């Protein structure tokens, strides 16, 4: 039963990654070369990568600040008994992102807000918000309620219970949501462009190397390889922190 999925995985994931890897380590004449990476690690492109990292970081922070309270409220069955509310937050994911961003642009135009860095940041956060809500919501729903009940029985208030029990136990969901927001927003370029961001991002540079005026597959593949390395590093760090934090949280929960 897994054979069709394995074939699709090889054809549409493994083979394209292998092609990107080959282009990244070759020159335009087909010979082995590190020129692609040398072109990536220049001062100008590193500055663009740094600005892209900052933009993605701010997007992730905004998503977390908005998503955690929403997920916390929705995880309470008193407010979300039928699950309809969480469905309302998931529904925008079913609409093409271009339509969503045009709607956001229309809202800014209606209120007379000029396009620029802040609107692009808000639009990017709005675009990826469901990806932050769902992992946190799922993690909060799976927390053993007896831990919070034990905390209350031992005299801890709701605030102390949240910071000592609920928040530490929800760290895996927060990390998962952060990765699902940070990495796509790092490679995004269409959303910021639509909302008037006057700043080049790393994803725009990669796009320009493949289908833009520059069109150098070797440099574009090297940039893509750097992006994949950042994704792998982020996932590795997140998994280590999640396991460590989960163990600490369980130990604290047991002390209650």
Residue 27 domain flag:
no
- pLDDT score of 176 more than 50: yes
Is residue 139 within 8 A of residue 166, CB to CB? The reply is no
Residue 44 CB neighbours (<10 A):
9
Contact partners, residue 25, CB within 8 Å, separation at least 6: 32, 33, 34, 36
For range 182-211, the mean pLDDT: 82
Position 65 confidence tier, pLDDT thresholds 50, 70, 90? very high
Residue 166 domain flag:
yes
Q: Which domain CATH number covers 85?
A: 1.10.3720.10
Of all residues in the chain, the percent with pLDDT exceeding 70 is 91
Domain of 177 in residue numbering reads as 48-203+224-255
Domain count of the chain? 1
Is residue 18 within 8 A of residue 216, CB to CB? The reply is no
Is residue 147 within 8 A of residue 256, CB to CB? The reply is yes
pTM: 0.80
pLDDT at 248: 52
- 25-48 pLDDT, tens per residue? 888 777 788 888 888 888 888 888
Residue 175 domain flag:
yes
Residue 39 domain flag:
no
Position 215 confidence tier, pLDDT thresholds 50, 70, 90? confident
Residue 36 domain flag:
no
Position 256 confidence tier, pLDDT thresholds 50, 70, 90? very low
Residue 112 domain flag:
yes
pLDDT at 10: 92
Residue bearing tokens 């796009």:
207
What does pLDDT average to over the chain?
A: 82
Distances (CA, A) of 14 to 5, 17, 160: 12, 5, 47
pLDDT at 26: 86
Residue 13 domain flag:
no
- 80-112 pLDDT, tens per residue? 665 677 777 777 777 887 888 888 888 888 888
Tell me which residue of 222, 223, 230 sits closest to 205, measured CA to CA. 223
How far is the C-alpha of 167 from the C-alpha of 250, rounded, in Å?
Answer: 12
- pLDDT score of 171 more than 70: yes
- 112-165 pLDDT, tens per residue? 888 888 888 988 898 888 889 989 988 988 888 888 778 887 887 888 888 888
Residue 196 domain flag:
yes
pLDDT at 234: 79
């Amino acid at each position: 039963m897994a054979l069709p999925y394995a074939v699709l995985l090889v054809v549409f994931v493994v083979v394209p990654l292998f092609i990107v890897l080959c282009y990244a380590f070759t020159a335009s004449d087909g010979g082995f070369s590190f020129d692609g990476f040398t072109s990536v690690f220049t001062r100008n492109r590193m500055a663009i990568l740094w600005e892209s990292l900052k933009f993605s970081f701010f997007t992730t922070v905004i998503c977390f600040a908005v998503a955690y309270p929403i997920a916390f409220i929705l995880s309470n069955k008193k407010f979300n008994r039928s699950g309809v509310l969480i469905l309302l937050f998931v529904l925008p994911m079913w609409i093409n992102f271009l339509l969503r961003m045009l709607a956001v642009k229309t809202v800014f135009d209606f209120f007379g807000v000029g396009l620029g860095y802040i609107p692009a940041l808000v639009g990017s956060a709005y675009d990826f918000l469901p990806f932050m809500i769902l992992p946190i919501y799922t993690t909060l729903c799976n927390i053993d309620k007896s831990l919070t009940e034990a905390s209350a029985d031992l005299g801890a208030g709701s605030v102390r219970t949240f910071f000592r029990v609920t928040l530490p136990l929800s760290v895996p969901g927060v990390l998962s949501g952060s990765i699902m927001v940070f990495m796509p927003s790092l490679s995004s370029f269409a959303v910021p462009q639509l909302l008037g961001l006057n700043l080049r991002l790393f994803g725009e540079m990669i796009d320009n190397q493949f289908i833009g005026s520059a069109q150098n597959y070797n440099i574009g593949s090297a940039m893509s390889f750097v992006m994949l390395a950042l994704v792998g590093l982020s996932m590795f760090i997140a998994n280590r922190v999640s396991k460590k934090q989960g163990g600490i949280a369980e130990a604290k929960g047991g002390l209650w």
